[in-house]
Amino acid sequence: MAEETPLFKVTIDNETIEVPAGTTILQAARMIGKEVAPPAMCYYGKLENTGGNCRTCLVEVSKGSEADPRPMPKLVPSCRTTVMDGMVVGNKTSERTVEARKGIVELLLINHPLDCPVCDQAGECKLQDLSYEHGAEATRYEFDRRTFPKEDLGPNIQLNMNRCILCYRCVKTADQITGCREHGVMNRGDHAEISTHIHKALDNEFIGNVIDVCPVGALTDKTFRFKNRVWFLKPVDAHRDCPTCSGKAQVWFRGDEVYRVTARKDEFNEVEDWICNTCRFDKKDINDWTLEKPSTVSKDSVIRQGHYFENKVSPNETLPKVIKRDPKILLDIHSVSKVNEPNRDLSKIDGPATSKDFKD
């Protein structure tokens, strides 16, 4: 008979849990709950051999184990450090960890452009969340930011290398999921960049998943680019009969229009089922999907704002009581503005809508 895997007891932020031997500190923290888990910008549970690049998950080990209770002298990456029996770890309760995380966030932002107002990742960007929680009010960096020339990766994926934090997730995804890696990290040090080297378009049936794994706005969906903001959309779990993938996806609506399709994600923002390019880029009609239910959105997410996902409560409208009539009949905006014509399907326009799209 095979030997049973022993269970190790580990305490993280005063929360104790028993986990199998070989479990990392980050995995153990996620088993306890999202509130205890350190942030991770490069680790991805669905991929092999990830982590150890961004250093945002550093934690303090104040007790190594029952056998050797000495503390570890330096902070350790929780995604790469396995637990020992009796280990005591400090994440949010450790001043050293919190202070070090501030420095790491400052380092990630040194070359990151301040273009959140025009970035399609705004509202669901993990770097935004990390900066809000640990970032400083101003940068101490006085030099010009690093910039890269534009590179075309094909008709569906937009690369903005200036926003990249070199987490390597997209490289691992292309290598392990698609089995056909056509891009990677070129050069070294400050000149390192994601590239195909020979300017070849990324062409694979599952390559669109690199968009979902990117924690920042370096890789975005060209078919959704500049068309809407995620907090104006409503994500809905849906499925379809697809011969290539599971067909389980998240469809983003505004009204009856489908603006984009993404893979479903768990509470740690990791993909549950990889989806194909056909589902992601080509199926943008409500009739293509069987709708299931509104997607579960974190209570801290800006996407949840204005949506009533649970315990639906309609706001108390006071205007009709004051004016004694329905305010909707006071103005028909379609009669005065062609930009708001009801027969215009903005989600199907190739690229962002401009004045040319509304000419007769």
d(CA 103, CA 136): 9
Domain extents for the chain?
7-104, 116-137+148-221, 230-304
How many Cβ atoms sit within 10 Å of the Cβ of residue 12? 27
Instruction: Spell out the CATH class of 116-137+148-221.
Output: alpha beta
What integer pLDDT is reported at residue 137 of this predicted model?
A: 80
Longest dimension (CA), the chain: 79
What integer pLDDT is reported at residue 5 of this predicted model?
A: 84
How many Cβ atoms sit within 10 Å of the Cβ of residue 236? 18
Residue 61 pLDDT more than 50? yes
| DSSP character at residue 39 | P
Q: What are phi and psi of 9, to 5 degrees?
A: -95, 125
Q: Mean pLDDT, to the nearest integer, of 159-167?
A: 93
Structure tokens at 255: 């009204």
* pLDDT per position as a tens digit, 280-319: 999 999 999 999 999 988 877 888 876 655 555 555 666 6
The rounded percent of the chain whose pLDDT value lies above 70 is 84
d(CA 165, CA 42): 9
Residue 51 pLDDT more than 60? yes
What integer pLDDT is reported at residue 317 of this predicted model?
A: 66
Q: Mean pLDDT, to the nearest integer, of 115-143?
A: 89
- Please tell me the pTM assigned to this model: 0.82
* pLDDT per position as a tens digit, 71-94: 999 999 999 999 999 999 999 999
What integer pLDDT is reported at residue 1 of this predicted model?
A: 47
Q: What are phi and psi of 172, to 5 degrees?
A: -65, -40
What integer pLDDT is reported at residue 136 of this predicted model?
A: 82
* More confidently predicted of 331 and 283: 283
Q: Mean pLDDT, to the nearest integer, of 150-163?
A: 90
What integer pLDDT is reported at residue 324 of this predicted model?
A: 63
Q: Mean pLDDT, to the nearest integer, of 15-37?
A: 94
d(CA 34, CA 298): 11
**Beta-bridge partner residues of 152:** 158
Region 7-104: CATH code: 3.10.20.740
Mean pLDDT score across all residues of the chain: 86
How many Cβ atoms sit within 10 Å of the Cβ of residue 194? 23
As a residue count, the chain comes to 360
* pLDDT per position as a tens digit, 189-237: 888 888 887 777 788 899 999 999 999 999 999 999 999 999 999 999 9
What integer pLDDT is reported at residue 358 of this predicted model?
A: 60
**CA 215, 177, 247 angle in degrees (round to 5)?**
85
- CB of 238 closer than 8 Å to CB of 247: no
Dihedral angle sign, alpha carbons of residues 324, 325, 326, 332 = negative
Residue 350 pLDDT more than 90? no
Least reliable range by pLDDT among 66-75, 149-158, 243-252, 261-270: 149-158
d(CA 133, CA 97): 13
Kind and range of the H or E element at 105?
helix 95-109
What integer pLDDT is reported at residue 114 of this predicted model?
A: 84
